[in-house]
C-alpha cells in the first residue's frame, strides 16, 4: 500500500500577532489612555492575519528601551483575529506569552537597540531578542494554534 506524505510549505495565519509598545503619548491619542509617565500602551503588529508564512519564517522589529536607566525589557506578546488592532486590551485581543531580557550598558541610555523576532514554526512560535550592542540572545517557545 502506498503511503502518501504531505509537507506544509506555507500557511495563512489565523491571527494577527504583535507586541505591546509604550511610545510617548501624542495629541490625537485617546487622553484616557495616557499613562502617568506620559506614555501610552499600544499594539505593534508584526504579522497580520491572512499573511502567508513559510515554516520558520521570521518577522522582526527593532525595539529600544522606554527609559534611559531601564535595565530590562519584558516583551508582552499578543494575538487577535482583528486585522488592524491598536491596543492590547481591545475586545478579542489575547495574551500569548512574554520574553524578559536584561538590558545592561545603562550608560548608553536610550540608544540600546534590540532586534525582537517572532518565528512561525510548524507547531510553535519562537520569540527571540538579540541585544545589538553586546550580541546577547534570548529565546522562548510559545504554542501555535493552527
Give pLDDT, residue 39.
96
Number of domains in the chain: 1
Residue 23: its pLDDT value, please? Answer: 96
In a domain, 120, yes or no: yes
Residue range(s) defining the domain that contains residue 64: 56-78+97-146
Neighbours of 51 (CB within 10 A): 17
Taking the C-alpha atoms of residue 43 and residue 86, their distance in angstroms, rounded to an integer, is: 5
Q: Does the residue 127 lie in any domain?
A: yes
Determine what percent of the chain is predicted with pLDDT higher than 90. Answer: 87
The pLDDT value recorded for residue 26 is 96
The per-residue pLDDT for range 32-63, each reduced to its tens digit, is 999 999 999 999 999 999 999 999 999 999 99
Q: Measured in whole angstroms, how far is the alpha carbon of residue 114 from the centre of its chain?
A: 12
Residue 132 lies in a domain: yes
Residue 6 has pLDDT above 70, yes or no: no
The H or E element that residue 17 is part of is: strand 16-21
Residue 10 included in any domain: no
CA-angle at 36, arms to 17 and 30, nearest 5°: 55
1 pLDDT above the threshold of 60? no
Contact 102/40 with Cβ under 8 angstroms?
no
Q: What is the pLDDT of residue 146?
A: 52
Residue 9 has pLDDT above 90, yes or no: no
Amino acid at each position: 500500500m502506498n503511503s502518501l506524505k504531505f509537507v506544509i510549505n506555507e500557511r495563512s495565519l489565523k491571527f494577527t500577532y504583535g507586541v505591546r509598545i509604550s511610545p510617548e503619548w501624542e495629541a490625537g491619542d485617546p487622553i484616557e489612555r495616557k499613562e502617568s509617565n506620559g506614555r501610552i500602551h499600544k499594539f505593534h503588529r508584526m504579522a497580520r492575519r491572512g499573511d502567508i508564512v513559510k515554516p520558520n519564517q521570521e518577522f522582526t522589529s527593532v525595539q529600544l528601551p522606554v527609559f534611559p536607566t531601564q535595565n530590562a525589557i519584558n516583551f508582552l506578546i499578543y494575538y487577535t483575529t482583528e486585522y488592524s488592532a491598536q491596543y492590547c486590551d481591545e475586545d478579542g485581543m489575547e495574551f500569548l506569552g512574554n520574553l524578559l531580557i536584561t538590558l545592561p550598558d545603562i550608560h548608553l541610555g536610550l540608544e540600546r537597540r534590540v532586534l525582537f523576532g517572532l518565528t512561525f514554526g510548524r507547531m510553535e512560535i519562537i520569540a527571540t531578542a538579540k541585544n545589538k550592542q553586546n550580541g546577547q540572545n534570548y529565546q522562548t517557545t510559545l504554542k501555535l494554534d493552527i
